[in-house]
Chains A and B, each alone.
Chain A
Amino acid sequence: MRSRLCFAVALVVLGLGFGLSLIIGRFALSPTDLLHSVEGQGAPEIRAVLLEARLPRMIAALFVGAALSMSGSAFQSVFRNPLVSPDLLGVLSGAAFGAASAIIVHGSALEIEIATFLGGCCAVGFGFIVARLVGREGVLPLLLGGLISSALFTALLSLLKYLADPFDQLPTIIYWLLGSLAQTSWAQLAVLVPLLTLGMAVLWASGRVLDVFGLSDDEVRSLGLPIGVLRLGILAVATALSALTVSLAGIIGWVGLIMPHMARLLIGPEHRRLLPFAALLGACCLLLADTAARSLSPSEIPLGMMTELLGALGFILVLRQLRREGRL
């Protein structure tokens, strides 16, 4: 009953947020403008704002928010730690390095996206290799591998920034690192939305696997499950989801940390319910954050900066709840 109510409220908020996001912005639209545009009438510039700029980035915000939130839920479950976020294994550092590399060599938008995704995957792959060298079992080697990989790719990113042209490439890299959905196009969405949907569907179908990660490794093995394979499989899917979001929106912090936790507070820890609800909250959060980012000031506030501001406040709530549960 409680979970149905939570889903219903989240859907209503999402619907209202979507409607609000359609009409507000630096170029405000009225509901009549919307109706005319849908019917194929109205001024061409209004149709352009709605269909070529606003709607694609809104859809991107929904999918990026949902994917980050589901990915964060999976990471928190695998590492049995509610303070874990999807960048734990170095995916963000690697993705940032990949993007900066493509910017330095004057890559096209598509090449930057591909380099971002590959950079994220390389960093996590490197983290896995280090983990295998450090130890064979458990989550600690993975944590250490992620830490080392993050440090390495952060250092490489700093090197690229040092080498970048300070008048052209460096500002581009820095702006990219701040995260934004302003350049989202339908062509990007046509590629990335099916991939994000597939990744999220796989995670949702693995809900019972994620429940099992709450047990110790020995207990999972004694239930007949290959914990190592399952852990790597889930981390691979969750990492791919994170890397895809970075290639679409740049680095968006906190959503993957805070939203799963809030979802867990409201709906409980069972993943078959938690994952879709966390996705809904993540979608709502990023849609509203992006709407605020493009509406609050004459020049757009970077989305990553907006989520950092909101995340810092949300994190206080998370810590209070963890303390109440005796887990801090």
Chain B
Amino acid sequence: MAFLSLDSISFARSGRSVLSDLSLGFRRGELVSILGANGAGKTSLLRLMLGLLRPETGRVLLDGQDLRRLSRQHIARLMAYVPQNRDLLPPYSVAQIVGLGRLPYGSLTRGLSEQDVSHVEAAMALLDLAALRDRPCTALSGGEYQRVLLARVLVQDAPVLVLDEPLSGLDYGHQIRLMALLARLAQEGRLVVMTAHQPDLVYRHASHVVLLEHGRLLAEGHPETVLDSATLGAFYGVALRHHDHDGQRFFMEGDGKS
């Protein structure tokens, strides 16, 4: 049964349709990658899933319940989010930023409890951040900062992680490591929903792919069935060919005739 589902969702901004009649369902244990050209409506889709935007028609169901009937705190305990626009924070330390992920569980007027601290320590250890705990976030590299934000959502201890373009700004090595980590988190029982622009990495690690075009669902399903050069070529408007090797699929520019 789908843990997170969208039922005939439509959304418009300033009179312009952004998403139209979209129905999707995702189960726990899946790593879902949403692909689409710039402006296809990926970020709006994620914000609708999180209840940060209200659909014009349709509804979002989380664990069988209509999202509109759940309190903001309840949603925060079920879904954690890293947005695409990551504005530079004030120079808080790594441990402070990660600790903010415990806000859905505590009072705003007191500090972290012992249980909160153990969550923070575990997440920092998992993402190899223990040595950076006192470093201000303004002194981190892009890859380190991305790991800090991921640690913050892990500390939120939610079964659903929603990540908007988590691979952007990372070097190829960090992209591979992050995708592997997200796949592992999904295998452990979480539902991870992310947007991406890297079809080869998505093919390798994701368990479910959604192709979004001009706010409409173009295709969805297992990467093997959805991500081929013909579909992606038409999707992005470029000539593509692909090459399969050792369970991986590599996409290359060109039609293979030359």
Contact = CB atoms under 8 A, between A and B. Distances in A.
Chain A interface helix/strand/loop/mixed:
loop
Interface stretch (A208-216, A295-303, A304-312): A208-216
A37 interface: no
B52 A221 contact: yes
Most chain A CB within a 10 A radius of its CB, from B87, B90, B100: B90
Given A224-B73, A325-B138, A214 B90 contact: yes
A223 B77 CA distance: 8
A268 interface: yes
A264 B91 CA distance: 10
Interface string B72-85: 11111101111101
Nearest to B46: A218
B156 interface: yes
Interface in B76-119: 76-77, 79-83, 85, 87-93, 96, 100-101, 103-104, 108-111
A272 B83 CA distance: 26
Contacts of A225: 72, 103, 108
A325 B71 CA distance: 39
B101 A224 contact: no
A269 interface: yes
B186 interface: no
What is the interface residue range for chain A against chain B?
20 to 34
B50 interface: yes
A312 to B, nearest CB: 25
A155 to B, nearest CB: 34
Interface in A208-266: 208-209, 211-212, 214-216, 218-219, 221-226, 264
A216 B90 CA distance: 12
B108 A325 contact: no
Nearest to B73: A224
A222 B108 contact: no
Interface in B193-218: none
Nearest to A220: B103
Contacts, number: 76
Interface in B20-75: 47, 50, 52, 71-75
Contacts of A222: 50, 52, 75-76, 79-81
A269 B138 CA distance: 12
A172 interface: no
Given A214-B90, A221-B52, A223-B101, A206 B76 contact: no
Nearest to B106: A208
A225 B73 CA distance: 7
A224 B72 contact: yes
Nearest to B153: A222
Interface residues of B, number: 35
B140 to A, nearest CB: 13
A212 B109 CA distance: 12
B104 A223 contact: yes
Given A219-B81, A219-B83, A270 B92 contact: yes
Contacts of A80: 87, 90
Given A222-B52, A223-B156, A211 B104 contact: no
A316 interface: no
Contacts of A206: 108-109
B108 A216 contact: no
B104 A215 contact: no
B94 to A, nearest CB: 13
Contacts of B90: 80, 214, 264, 269
Nearest to A326: B138
Given A208-B108, A225-B108, A325-B138, A215 B100 contact: yes
A205 interface: yes
A216 B92 contact: no
A214 B52 contact: no
B255 to A, nearest CB: 41
A268 B95 CA distance: 14
A326 B89 CA distance: 12
Interface of B: 47, 50, 52, 71-77, 79-83, 85, 87-93, 96, 100-101, 103-104, 108-111, 136, 138, 156
Query: Considering the complex of A and B, which 3 residue pairs feature the smallest CB-CB distances, nearest first?
Result: A224-B76, A224-B73, A222-B81
Given A218-B83, A326-B138, 8 more contacts: A205-B109, A206-B108, A208-B110, A222-B75, A223-B104, A224-B77, A225-B103, A272-B111
Interface of A: 80, 205-206, 208-209, 211-212, 214-216, 218-219, 221-226, 264, 268-270, 272, 325-327
